[in-house]
Structure 1
């Protein structure tokens, strides 16, 4: 089988006329909208104040769910939890700072996250009739991997390339990623020694947290985790070292780093920051990121989760991202619609990657060798796109080993197909996101995302995002994702994912609008 056949099926991302009409004249990259807060509110504090043991995350989770059921009346799904809430009394008065520094807080949110997926959404409340806008990932059946990358997987299977390999990944794939990452940051020159291939973003951050803590020993100050954030990532750090949550406010699509700057100390061992936030889609401006990176002590490592930093403004990355104490995490899960493949990479200082080699060799052996060709081809073609290559020639063919049997014609056909699919895919996802935002804005308060595929929505009448999820699911059949699950500790905002079929998006927004209208009449 040839790696790149002369012709590949052209994937077509059709955009319904009604989606274009809904998007209107709004800027596709505008990040405007209301201010989004993740500070600790009274509702969050009351759970800690009532717990018999505020250090027991499972009791905190039961109390939170019990209050939701108690307020749901006849619609309570677990009345025994509602009784536990009613029987609770105020025992103390905790401060927001105590909540943000408590080990129990992170584990409580993670347990609520588990309960949402395991017991509610895909458990007792499951129905085939639900419209699922809670997933947080691109619908792979609508926007799957480009055909060229699928061909790489087929080629690896035919060549039987699924054996043992280097613990940081095949050198040729790491060289390709290093060249791609170098092209993204002016004046920076990475090589294979700066790259380790990984099993996706979540595994990468979990293993890095364990690696960093094990190599540095007990810390005199807590690690800092910016919020909003993804519970498995924060829990992977908090279960290994003392951790402080740092809420970052966002407005006009821009996250403020001021709270992180204020929380830093020379002894801070580790900072974890998503450069584009889930669920708001707000991003850290490059100049703000540079200020943060320059403020770090040389002994402070920072994990930059860049996985949501796509589908937004294309601006040059600062060389500050290549500093010795910066570790950058990338994944195929979001950008390339392939969360099930579990593939990605970390970019870091050569000395750190050399140490990480021993950690990887000891703890998991290495990443899946089956996907090395996919990563190599993806990285090379992405670099060509970044550097403006329009037509490939012998120079590009020579980047691949001779055993691939590539010719200029085959590689040109494959590259044109890849670039065409990538452009069409990105434009359709932007249009869907813009159209979804425009429609939701007609009846709800919406944080317009600057990056990624998620939109944070505040419907009138809810101050608890988990109860909002439950009510909307019961009354409309539309599944949303509660903001509390990403450490949004105030208000009732839920997340909707716009990278679904337009049929589902259109039907879901219709149902939400009708229900919001009925609710407004009831409370008018």
Structure 2
């Protein structure tokens, strides 16, 4: 009699999470073909030549370049990250025991969640929110508790205060903000810091977009010395330095938290890839004008996206983003965001991300990214104008 294999048993942890829509929509578009993207958050810029040259030289001439680094990361890179935090945020970190080089900001955030959150613990998440923050909380078997942003997408400390319960362990804050492009006001951030101190909560500060604030510098919770002993501050080389594919991020945490995060890092990845660390060090210590040029270019693309959205008034409403490279656009059709995003892929050949993938506050909305080159942005908006024009018999 033939043997029937037993069905595999899957963990409760895996069953609690899902792949984010930011990854699913490009996969669907690849099946359709011919799409242009306002979807996934990838800046269009190529890795600068001087970074490529540094990596190539290391791989050719330094045998260590293809091997493991020390588990927390290259000492020179940790020192450079500590210098960046001190210069930009006034956060003075011990590069030996308080800085981790991770496989992207995502791994650093996950390590923090797995260290700080236990089954049944709650983490406050301002919403709309980056979906992976929520999935990481769920993976740690915690519970995300949403604190709605104000209608203008500003941070609402009163909503955060109302979300605190006896089970709350942490608050995660990201400014400039994904998915809205908001840059949270310093008084609101300070009010949230006061809530964390009052209730003995840890603050997880996701500063992935900290260099992409177009109208004024972004204030970071990592700059508050009163939070230092209850802070995990995560940064990324992906957006500021356009090193998305190199997969390098960094984290600060005080020694008691970092000692625990290093255990997660060790069993998950051992260390960040050496070529990526070499690229990150070259980017951080090399000429910075190319990277400030990236920010200026993205500011122009923000203005272009807003002009094109203004032309679509009556079809798409939006709040002008102050940072990152995203805008949340509310549409008027009475259909769910996923259905709307799928229609745009199939009928307009444009990738967007359904707003409800970002939680409360994303209803009847789409997240649009303006990280692409201007020719691609214009092509995408031309297609959107044609789509909405067909819907209502209009011409633009």
TM-score category (smaller protein): 0.7 to 0.9
Match of 1:133? Answer: 38
When residues 446 and 157 of structure 1 are mapped into structure 2, their CA distance, relative to the original with a 3 A threshold, is same
Unaligned 5+ runs, structure 1: 1-102, 382-414
Instruction: Give the deviation of 1:423 after TM superposition.
Output: 2.9
1:324-375 Cα distance to aligned partner (Å, 9 max, x none): 1110111122222222111010011123223333333344322223333333
- Give distance in 1, aligned partners of 2:177 and 2:203: 16
**Aligned positions of 1:389-468 closer than 5 A:** 415=286, 418-443=287-312, 444-468=316-340
Aligned to 1:179, which of 56, 80, 83?
83
Distance 1:105 1:225 in 2: 21
Alpha-carbon displacement from aligned partner over 1:34-72 (angstroms, at most 9, x marks no partner): xxxxxxxxxxxxxxxxxxxxxxxxxxxxxxxxxxxxxxx
Q: Is 2:380 the partner of 1:508?
A: yes
1:473 equivalent in alignment to 2:345 = yes
Distance change in 2, residues 1:373/1:136 (3 Å): closer
Q: How many angstroms apart in 2 are the aligned matches of 1:324 and 1:496?
A: 36
Does residue 371 (structure 1) correspond to residue 271 (structure 2)? The answer is no
Partner of 2:92: 189
Q: Distance in 2 between matches of 1:104 and 1:357?
A: 23
What's 1:156 paired with? 58
CA 1:164–1:476: 2 relative to 1, 3 Å: closer
Pairwise mapping of residues 70-81 of structure 1 onto structure 2 (< 5 A)?
none
Distance 1:454 1:321 in 2: 31
Does 2:211 match 1:310? Answer: yes
Q: Give the C-alpha shift of residue 322 in structure 1.
A: 5.0
Q: Which runs of 5 or more residues in structure 2 are unaligned?
A: 1-12
Q: TM-score, normalised by structure 1?
A: 0.65
| Distance in 2 (alpha carbons) for counterparts of 1:512 and 1:151 | 40
1:122 aligns with 2:30: yes
Change (3 A) 1:136 1:266: same
Q: What is the rounded CA distance, in whole Å, between the counterparts of 1:144 and 1:156 in structure 2?
A: 20
> Does 316-325 or 223-232 show the bigger shift?
316-325
Using the alignment, how far apart are the partners of 2:39 and 2:207 within structure 1?
21
- SS of equivalent to 2:229: coil
Q: Does 1:230 align with 2:130?
A: yes
**Structure 2 residue aligned with 1:170, among 70, 74, 83?**
74
1:319 paired to 2:258: no
Counting matched residue pairs gives: 371
Q: For the residues of structure 2 that align with 1:266 and 1:145, how far apart are their CA atoms?
A: 46
Task: Tell me if the contact between 2:20 and 2:357 (Cα under 8 Å) persists in the aligned partners.
Answer: no
Q: Which position in structure 1 is the counterpart of 2:192?
A: 292
Aligned with residue 355 of structure 1, among 256, 260, 280: 260
| Cα distance change on mapping 1:261 and 1:320 into 2, 3 Å | farther
2:152 aligned with 1:256: no
1:163-220 CA-partner distances (Å, limit 9, x unpaired) = 222211122211111111011123x42220221110002222122222334xxx555x
Counterpart Cα distance in 2 of 1:430 and 1:377: 25
Larger radius of gyration: 1
What is the alpha-carbon distance in structure 2 between the residues aligned to residue 153 and residue 245 of structure 1?
A: 42
- Which residue is 1:206 aligned to? 110
